[in-house]
Copies of this chain bind each other. A is one copy, B any other.
């Protein structure tokens, strides 16, 4: 295992440990299903309390699960990072009872800036939203 692989493995282990007691994950009932170098997958069930004034699923909930996948994904490589920018496109409505699955794939993880892509699908694989995000490394090497 190279130094780089060792560092990434350590970062992922730390992140997994932290995920056990994450307040907002409990609050929004988001589950980290998978975490690998440059990849994460998070699930969240749409509940009746997520409905907006029109009886539709609040877009903010879809954004939340996408952001959670982004947070894990962009911290799964060399440079622990924070989200600086997110752009999301809503494609189809999520329904109460849906199991939303957000996946994050890191496109670039540089010393100064990173780019990740996120998709949100439901339990049938239907595309609910797509997003991209800019991440900034916390500690400069």
Contact = CB atoms under 8 A, between A and B. Distances in A.
Interface in A107-141: 107-108, 112-113, 115, 117, 127, 130, 132, 134, 136-137, 140
Contacts of A52: 22-24, 71
Number of copies: 4
B91 A108 contact: yes
6 contacts: A22-B53, A23-B52, A52-B71, A86-B88, A91-B107, A130-B132
Interface of A: 15, 18-19, 22-28, 48-54, 56, 58-61, 63-65, 67-68, 71, 82-91, 107-108, 112-113, 115, 117, 127, 130, 132, 134, 136-137, 140
